[in-house]
């Protein structure tokens, strides 16, 4: 597994890089060499935000935590990622290493996982509008995301509310492009 470590508003030193690489190495039992693990550290005032994203064979796992320092953050984010792997174990087994689940040395306590299930299906009309109009609808409805049809391109877009309170825009692209 390849590891990329980046930071914003902070310096990622050799000591932190070494700790991260050593701890992430424990996740290599799940992935082949072509997996990419991106660790992103961001200092936001007094909060140290740690984000970990693993991309592999068209799938993505992501977890983030905020705390007092990055060392505690990496210790908190790894169990979250491993829980995701175990939660979706049956869906992922064909894409992960064959012996990924033989070893029982985990970052977290082996506990019961609540199974996610589909409980509601909604249909809605895609309304052609600008991104600004969609952001306005998002605010008016009080939702965390809003799906719309871009008035210029006719393509589906999603505006969403970020944790910072700002609005983000998702633009889907076809795999492999």
pLDDT bucket at 140, cuts 50 / 70 / 90:
confident
Is 104 a residue whose pLDDT tops 60? no
Tell me which of 87 and 33 has the higher pLDDT.
33
Tell me which of 97 and 65 has the higher pLDDT.
65
Single out the residue of 170, 144, 167 nearest to residue 155, CA to CA: 170
CA 120 to chain CA mean position, Å: 23
Q: What is the predicted pLDDT for the residue at 177?
A: 59
Tell me phi and psi for residue 28, to 5 degrees.
Answer: -65, -20
Q: What is the predicted pLDDT for the residue at 118?
A: 81
Single out the residue of 174, 136, 142, 140 nearest to residue 155, CA to CA: 174
Query: What Cα–Cα distance (Å) separates residue 16 from each residue in 69, 81, 83?
Result: 11, 19, 23
pLDDT bucket at 139, cuts 50 / 70 / 90:
confident
pLDDT tens digits, 22-35? 999 888 888 778 88
Percent of the chain with pLDDT over 70: 82
């Amino acid at each position: 597994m390849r590891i990329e470590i980046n930071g914003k508003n902070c310096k990622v030193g050799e000591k932190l890089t070494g700790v991260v690489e050593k701890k992430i190495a424990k996740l290599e039992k799940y992935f082949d060499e072509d997996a990419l693990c991106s660790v992103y550290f961001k200092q936001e005032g007094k909060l140290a935000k740690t984000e970990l994203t693993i991309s592999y064979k068209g799938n993505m796992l992501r977890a983030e935590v905020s705390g007092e320092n990055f060392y505690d953050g990496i210790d908190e984010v790894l169990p979250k990622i491993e829980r995701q792997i175990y939660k979706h174990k049956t869906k992922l087994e064909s894409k992960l290493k064959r012996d990924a689940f033989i070893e029982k040395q985990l970052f977290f306590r082996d506990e019961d996982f609540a199974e996610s299930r589909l409980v509601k299906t909604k249909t809605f009309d895609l309304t052609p509008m600008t991104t600004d109009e969609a952001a306005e609808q998002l605010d008016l409805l009080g939702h965390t995301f809003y799906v719309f049809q871009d008035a210029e391109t006719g393509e589906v877009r999603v505006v969403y509310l970020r944790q910072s309170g700002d609005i983000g825009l998702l633009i889907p692209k076809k795999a492999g492009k």
